[in-house]
Amino acid sequence: METNGNNAPSQKAKTTNEVIDNAAGQKVSQKPLDGARGKPRFIAVTSLEDQQAIRTVAFHPQGHLYAVGANSKTLRICKFPYLNDLREDHETRPAEVVLKRPKHHKGSIYCCAWSPLGNLIATGSNDKTIRITRFDNESCTTVGADTELTFHDGTVRDMVFIQDTSNKSSLLVSGGAGDCKIYVTDCETATPVRTMSGHSGHIYALHSWGGCMFMSGSQDKTARLFDLRASAAINVITSPSPGSAFASVCVDPSGRLLASGHEDSACMLWDIRGNRVVQVFRPHTDEIRTVRFSMNAYYLLTASYDQKIVLTDLHGDLMQRLPSVIVAEHKDKVIQCKWHPSQLSFVSSSADRNVICWALPMI
Report the pLDDT averaged over residues 33-61.
84
Q: Which residue has the higher pLDDT, 67 or 38?
A: 67
Q: How confident is the model over 25-29, as a mean pLDDT?
A: 33
Average pLDDT (91-117) is 97
Answer whether residue 20 shows pLDDT above 50: no
Q: Is the pLDDT of residue 140 over 50?
A: yes
Of the chain, the percentage scoring pLDDT greater than 70 comes to 87
Structure confidence at residue 39 (pLDDT): 65
The average pLDDT across 86-97 equals: 95
As a whole number of angstroms, the distance between CA 72 and CA 58 comes to 17
Ranking 64-73, 83-92, 261-270, 347-356 by mean pLDDT, the lowest is 83-92
pLDDT of residue 173: 97
pTM: 0.89
Q: How confident is the model at residue 167, as a pLDDT? A: 64
Measured in whole angstroms, the distance separating CA 179 from the mean position of its chain's CA atoms is 23
The span from the CA of 96 to the CA of 98, in Å, is: 6
Q: How far is CA 169 from CA 116, 128, 185, 189, 253, in A?
A: 10, 24, 10, 10, 22
Answer whether residue 265 shows pLDDT above 70. yes
Could you tell me if 194 and 184 are in contact, meaning their C-beta atoms sit under 8 angstroms apart?
Answer: yes
Is the peptide bond preceding residue 283 cis, with omega within 30 degrees of 0? no
Average pLDDT over residues 320-333: 96
CA distances (Å), origin 299, targets 74, 240, 302, 310: 32, 22, 10, 10
Q: What are phi and psi of 49, to 5 degrees?
A: -110, 140
For residue 312, is it left (φ>0), alpha (ψ between -120 and 50) or beta? Answer: beta
265: alpha, beta or left, given left = phi > 0 and alpha = psi -120 to 50? left
* Residue percentage of the chain with pLDDT more than 90: 81
Which pLDDT does position 166 carry in this prediction? 63
Task: Report pLDDT for 163.
Answer: 82
Q: How far apart are CA 171 and CA 160, in angstroms?
A: 8
**What per-residue confidence (pLDDT) applies to 363?**
62
What's the average model confidence in pLDDT over 11-37? Answer: 37
Q: Whole-angstrom Cα distance, residue 29 to residue 49?
A: 33
Which amino acid, residue 280?
Answer: V
pLDDT on residue 312:
97
Residue 6's pLDDT band (boundaries 50, 70, 90)? very low
For residue 34, pLDDT over 60 is answered with: no
Whether the predicted pLDDT of 15 surpasses 60: no
The dihedral through the CA atoms of 337, 340, 343, 347 has a sign that is negative
pLDDT at 128 > cutoff 60: yes
What is the per-residue pLDDT for 211?
84
Asked whether the predicted pLDDT for residue 156 surpasses 70, the reply is yes
Q: Is the pLDDT of residue 5 over 60?
A: no
User: Which of these ranges, 17-26, 44-53, 242-251, 344-353, has the smallest mean pLDDT?
Assistant: 17-26
> Is the pLDDT at 218 greater than 70, yes or no?
yes
Which class in CATH covers the domain with range 52-83+97-301? mainly beta
Give me the helices (H) in 2-133, please: 17-21
Q: What is the DSSP string of 312-351?
A: EE-SS-TTSPPPEEEEEE-SS-EEEEEE-SSSSEEEEEET
Q: Are 345 and 44 a contacting pair, CB within 8 Å?
A: no
* pLDDT band, residue 99 (cuts 50/70/90): very high
Task: Report the mean per-residue pLDDT for the chain.
Answer: 89
**26 pLDDT tier (thresholds 50, 70, 90):** very low
Looking at residue 21, the DSSP 8-state letter turns out to be: H
pLDDT in tens, 169-204: 899 999 999 999 999 999 999 999 999 999 999 999
Q: Is the pLDDT of residue 8 over 90?
A: no
Number of H helices, E strands in the chain: 1, 30
